[in-house]
Chains A and B, each alone.
Chain A
Amino acid sequence: MKKSRVLRASALLIGLSLVGVACGGDDTSSDTTAAAGGDVTCDGLKIAFFGALTGDAGNLGQNIKKGVDLAVAEFNEANPGCQVGIEAYDSQGDPAQAPALADKAVADASVVGIVGPAFSGESKAVNGKFDEAGLPIVTPSATNPDLANQGWKIFHRALAGDDKQGPGIVQKITADGKAKVGVIDDNSEYGKGLADIVQAGLGAAAVEMNSLDPEGSDYSAIVTAAKDAGVDGIFFGGYYAAAGKLAKQLKDGGVDAQLYFADGVLDVGFIEAAGPAAEGSIIMCPCAPKDSNADFLAAFKAKFNEDPATYAAEAYDAATAFLDAIAAGKQDRASILEFLKTYDKAGVTKQIKWDEKGEVAGNAIYAYTIESGAIVGKPGLIG
């Protein structure tokens, strides 16, 4: 009895392995190295995207990735002798998943620059690793002010940090004449940091309403608190998925306050989650409106058949900085990092030029609003 069972088990194993042999053997990847011809030559260099492509805030990463894709595609077309690859590290925006991916990026010697990490929380978790490895990064979206103060030599960002965005939001809320503003955050590095800045800026007009759980589904306690406080404005620091749920439940609960959000909410995902409750919300962002550069808009539309969304243009600028370095013959991590120090060029969003902390020179904050289920750029440029 025992013997026959062993026999059958091994028969099973043999059967399985046969299938393996039958199905194997189509795993050949083609490595395209174009023939020389352009004025720049390079071999096997890659720029990496690092951030959420899936998950609660995946849309923002998708936008960024598209900006990188466009910049690299244009570069590769112009330089047949230097075909730059793209590596995508999907962290889901999760600081817990990011470190393992960062190790992978560091270990891959062909990765010479990183566009990202997209969010502030994951940036805090992994930028130290990139700094140790001397792998230069340009984030098109992580806005937490602390990130520039960690002494990371590799850190650059292609947009203004929250120490500029926060006061911009406060300026807007004050200009709108709101006297009692509930301040809520999602307890993330980015959301809480920004909410704290806004709350401090608003001073006596702010009503502390604490944090919500972005993964949770029931925000009725916050709705009740907002109703009770009789606020005429609400600011939420966080990302679009939670913002959508919050906006919907506030509206259902009979709270008519003007809703203010920041860059993490500037995405159609917010409108999808909130439905009609999104109407009239004001979303501030240090990111340029999609039509701020006509050439970029046209090229993006031609490639992806859609308008560029939040951070796509910033990502394009970030990737372009790396590609310019490669074009200038800087083809390893150290010399690219050196190149970025003196970089000074008009990007599609702003003049791209970094100070010694990695902060970009321009710091414009823009206001957007939701009208008839679409994000509309307002001329309300602040800062």
Chain B
Amino acid sequence: MRDWLLYRTFWDLTITGLALGSIYSLVALGYTLVYGVLRLINFAHSEIFMVGTFGALMASQEFLGIPMLEDGGYPYRTGFMLIVFLVFILLCAMVFSGLGAVALERVAYKSLRGNGDLFGAVVLAFLTGFVVSMVFVDDTLANVIVAAILTAPITMGYMSLFRRGKQSPRLAFLISAIGASTAIAEAMAIWGPEKREQYQTPRILEKDVLFSFLGADVRVDNVIVIVGALLMMVALTLFVNKSRLGRGVRAVAQDAETARILGVNVDMIILVTFALGGVMAGGAAMLFTLVYEQSRFNIGFILGVKSFTAAVLGGIGNLKGALLGGLVLGLVENYASAVFGGQWKDVVAFVVLLVVLMFRPTGLLGESLGRARV
């Protein structure tokens, strides 16, 4: 009986599945880009998405001062103002995520590549001082002051210890990624204004049905998410394929050592790659808050796992693969919910992943941003 539900509501499920899938795709791009150049699964990328949702939240509630409710209804904006607001929120989310991703790279990964990094050392020194003073004093302000005083000497200590000129083993990066992910999420849970509670973002877009497509109602927000995500992906692809920096990204992805010999600033390119992934995650975060109007300190966790799955499904390291993987995953989840019930959707999604990997170990489209084939 439930399969007839799929038959009857196929297009409804397709549209909502594509909307969620495009958000998966955007986040998956971050995993794929970083994997392409560093061969690293950046598990903290889910937290970059989380930071983006809070960027969107701050943009709408703090910078634009939009209330949750106006006269008992949603604070709808229309016409030109709506577009200005949406673009502003999008940019804020992208800036938050982009900067977050860059900071993450400098603090959690760059030092491990063996050359040390002043910014990373300063942040780590501050955190060290903070944690140490927390052992003795239970007062955040005092901790901050002590940490600030200690930052300079500890930084010097760290910088002198850094200079190894030797890359850490791959496992170290992985642990650093997982650690950074937990640290960022928990920091948000401890110091965020609502702690571990759910945040609501105001609704400025009236979610009207735009048109009917084969019996399915297509809402404005679905269209914005799908079209917005596609535009961002086209822009990213153009950037990677046509621009100078993009060429650098491809060069480092193919062979970092040769690229370095040929004069490519590899560290800079890695930073650019993280920034690109962060900006895409910021875009995803803005679209996510547009549709689901919520955030939480751990909002990135499930979405991150799904997006990583999408990246692997499409072929990790492959930009088009991330797009395809995200959309396929969004659709499969929705169809599976209709046929088997919501509690089965993750099971079905991962069965599909395993089956695909069994026949195509490198994912649907294979690795293409990957190493040069020799």
Q: Which residues of A contact B (CB under 8 A)?
A: 5, 8-9, 11-12, 15-16, 19-20, 23-27, 54-56, 58, 92, 187, 209-213, 215-225, 227-228, 241, 245, 248, 252, 254, 269, 272-273, 275-276, 372-373
Size category, B interface:
35 or more
A23 with B203: CB separation less than 8 A: no
Which residues of B331-351 have CB atoms within 8 Å of chain A's CB atoms? 333-334, 337-338, 341-343, 345-346
B-side interface mostly: helix
B136 with A227: CB separation less than 8 A: no
B346: chain A residues at CB < 8 Å are 213
**Contact flags (1/0) for B191-232 with A, using CB distance below 8 Å?**
000011110100100010100000001010000000000000
A245 with B16: CB separation less than 8 A: no
A225 with B5: CB separation less than 8 A: yes
A273: chain B residues at CB < 8 Å are 198, 200, 294
Asked if A19 meets B132 with Cβ closer than 8 Å, knowing A220-B20, A241-B198, A276-B69, the reply is: yes
Question: Which of A25, A228, A254, A275 contacts B217, CB < 8 Å?
Answer: A254
A225 with B338: CB separation less than 8 A: yes
B13 with A221: CB separation less than 8 A: yes
Q: Give min CB distance, B220 to chain A, whole Å.
A: 11
**Taking the complex as formed, is B135 at the interface, i.e. its CB lies under 8 A from any CB of chain A?**
yes
A187 with B343: CB separation less than 8 A: yes
Question: Which of B146, B154, B288 contacts A23, CB < 8 Å?
Answer: B146
A276 with B74: CB separation less than 8 A: yes
Cα distance A254–B207 in the bound complex, in angstroms: 10
Q: Give min CB distance, A204 to chain B, whole Å.
A: 15
**Taking the complex as formed, is B142 at the interface, i.e. its CB lies under 8 A from any CB of chain A?**
yes
Question: Which of B8, B294, B337 contacts A228, CB < 8 Å?
Answer: B8
A218 with B343: CB separation less than 8 A: no
Which residues of B129-173 have CB atoms within 8 Å of chain A's CB atoms? 129, 132-133, 135-138, 142, 146, 150, 153-154, 157, 160-161
A227: chain B residues at CB < 8 Å are 9, 12
**Taking the complex as formed, is B261 at the interface, i.e. its CB lies under 8 A from any CB of chain A?**
no
A372 with B72: CB separation less than 8 A: yes
B343 with A252: CB separation less than 8 A: no
B16 with A275: CB separation less than 8 A: no
Top 7 A-B residue pairs of the complex, sorted by shortest distance between their CB atoms: A210-B341, A221-B337, A220-B16, A23-B136, A12-B157, A211-B343, A24-B136
- New A-B pairs, 10, CB < 8 Å, besides A15-B157, A217-B292, A218-B16: A15-B150, A19-B133, A19-B150, A25-B136, A56-B198, A220-B16, A221-B16, A223-B16, A224-B338, A228-B5
Interface centre among B68, B133, B136, B333 (most CB of A within 10 A): B136
B138: chain A residues at CB < 8 Å are 27
B343 with A210: CB separation less than 8 A: yes
Q: Give min CB distance, A218 to chain B, whole Å.
A: 5
Q: Which residue of A lies closest to B23 (CB)?
A: A218
B343: chain A residues at CB < 8 Å are 187, 210-211, 213
A9: chain B residues at CB < 8 Å are 157, 161
A373: chain B residues at CB < 8 Å are 69, 72
**Taking the complex as formed, is B81 at the interface, i.e. its CB lies under 8 A from any CB of chain A?**
no
Cα distance A218–B333 in the bound complex, in angstroms: 10
Write 14 A-B pairs (CB below 8 A) sorted by A numbering. A8-B157, A9-B157, A15-B150, A16-B150, A20-B132, A23-B136, A27-B138, A54-B197, A211-B341, A211-B342, A221-B16, A224-B13, A228-B8, A276-B74
Q: Which residue of B lies closest to A11 (CB)?
A: B157
Q: Which residue of B lies closest to A274 (CB)?
A: B200
B117: chain A residues at CB < 8 Å are none
B17: chain A residues at CB < 8 Å are 220
A54 with B302: CB separation less than 8 A: no
A275 with B196: CB separation less than 8 A: no
B302 with A216: CB separation less than 8 A: yes
Cα distance A24–B136 in the bound complex, in angstroms: 5
**Taking the complex as formed, is B299 at the interface, i.e. its CB lies under 8 A from any CB of chain A?**
yes
A223: chain B residues at CB < 8 Å are 16
B219: chain A residues at CB < 8 Å are 252
B157: chain A residues at CB < 8 Å are 8-9, 11-12, 15
B302 with A215: CB separation less than 8 A: yes
A220 with B142: CB separation less than 8 A: no
B9: chain A residues at CB < 8 Å are 224-225, 227-228
Cα distance A245–B129 in the bound complex, in angstroms: 41
**Taking the complex as formed, is B73 at the interface, i.e. its CB lies under 8 A from any CB of chain A?**
yes
B197: chain A residues at CB < 8 Å are 54-55, 58, 269
Question: Which of A5, A23, A55, A241 contacts B137, CB < 8 Å?
Answer: A23
**Taking the complex as formed, is B186 at the interface, i.e. its CB lies under 8 A from any CB of chain A?**
no
**Contact flags (1/0) for B309-346 with A, using CB distance below 8 Å?**
00000000000000000000000011001100111011
Interface centre among A24, A55, A210, A213 (most CB of B within 10 A): A210
B342 with A5: CB separation less than 8 A: no
B153 with A15: CB separation less than 8 A: yes
A275 with B198: CB separation less than 8 A: no
Q: Give min CB distance, B51 to chain A, whole Å.
A: 17
